[in-house]
Every structure is written in structure tokens, then in C-alpha cells.
Amino acid sequence: EAGVAQSPRYKIIEKRQSVAFWCNPISGHATLYWYQQILGQGPKLLIQFQNNGVVDDSQLPKDRFSAERLKGVDSTLKIQPAKLEDSAVYLCASSLAPKGRTEDQPQHFGDGTRLSIL
């Protein structure tokens, strides 16, 4: 099966500019996650979607970050305006969620977008 696809792989922007990342999850996966991974740390959840509804966005800096999942498939994550501390790898993951449950479901990750803020 095809894996989680993310684009672009790399992005360099100046602070205060905006940027968008795209994710296409594995076909049939109802749950989609966006993570931020700062160098030397583990991934930190930004937002979780179940189909096209938001399950958890408690750690999303909503003054500058936004995300949507149109038609419950592809998703985009946007940062506007970017700050220096947003330099990180942004990972998208998906998992099966039969009957709305996420327990015991491994997550499948894309290779991420490495964002550098100048």
C-alpha cells in the first residue's frame, strides 16, 4: 500500500511569512495527525482529525497555526505568520480508526516537511 505522502520536503522562509504543508494519508485511514518535531526531541501533537472533524487541537497555537481536512482525506497545515521558533520538521501521520476508536492502532508517518525560518 502507498504510504503517507507529504509535500514539500523542505521549505525555507523568512519570519513573518506564511507557509503551508500538505498531507495525503493512507487510503481508508480515518484518523490523521499533525506533529511538530523540533531537532533532538520527540514529535509533539498539534492536531488530530477523525474524518474531517477535529478531535484534539489543544496544543495548536491557534493565533498562527491552522489546519483543515477537506472531505476527510487530504489535509493542509498552515502557519501565518511564521516565527523563528517554528523551525522544525512537521510530520503527518494516519491510522485506522474502526468505529471511532483509536486504541491499539499504530500510526503511519510520512517523511515530513523540514521548515527553516530565517
Partner 1 sequence: SQQGEEDPQALSIQEGENATMNCSYKTSINNLQWYRQNSGRGLVHLILIRSNEREKHSGRLRVTLDTSKKSSSLLITASRAADTASYFCATDTGRRALTFGSGTRLQVQP
Smallest separation, CB 92 to partner 1 (Å): 8
CA 115 to chain centre: 13
Residue 4 near partner 1 by CB under 8 A: yes
Residue 33 near partner 1 by CB under 8 A: yes
Half-sphere exposure of 99 (CA within 13 A, CB side): 2
Candidates 43, 77, 79, 115: give the one binding partner 1 (CB under 8 A). Answer: 43
Smallest separation, CB 58 to partner 1 (Å): 8
- CB-count burial class (<10 Å; 0-12, 13-18, 19+) for 111: middle
Q: Please, are residues 94 and 73 in contact by the beta-carbon 8 Å criterion?
A: no
Q: Which residues bind partner 1 (CB under 8 A)?
A: 4, 33, 40-45, 48, 55-56, 58, 91, 93, 102-104, 106-112, 114
